[in-house]
Structure 1
């Protein structure tokens, strides 16, 4: 299995697991007892980590591309 295929599978599984957990939290009111002081910063931190990993992966793909004229 190629590295790109493995990364795509990890991305899909992570995304489905995250949205599934988020949906379950909303459906079963698991976040009812957690204060807003902790809830939103944790979700924001997870979102930031996800976005940073996405851009890092895109940058690594771009940097490793042999057709990239800026490659050293």
Structure 2
């Protein structure tokens, strides 16, 4: 396994763990003493991390020279 693949798996695991933890805390109201704004902040951070991941994935796919939809390499 290449280091890039291993790092990607670690990022996925951490992202899913944080998202799951936040979801469990909000869904089951396990932190009644925490202010409501903290849940919103955690949710926004999770959405930003996931959005950043999708943007990076899209940029890698768009810059891939083997991508058949790459506008830099016209067919034929």
TM-score (norm. length: structure 1): 0.59
Q: Which runs of 4+ in 1 moved over 6 A?
A: none
Q: How many residues align?
A: 69
| Structure with the higher helix share, 1 or 2 | 1
- Provide the C-alpha distance between the structure 1 equivalents of 2:5 and 2:59, rounded to a whole number of angstroms: 12
Name the larger-Rg structure. Answer: 2
Aligned to 1:8: 9
Unaligned 5+ runs, structure 1: none
- Return the structure number with greater relative CO, CA threshold 8 A, min gap 6: 2
CA-based RMSD: 2.9
Equivalences for residues 44-59 of structure 1 within 5 A: 44-59=43-58
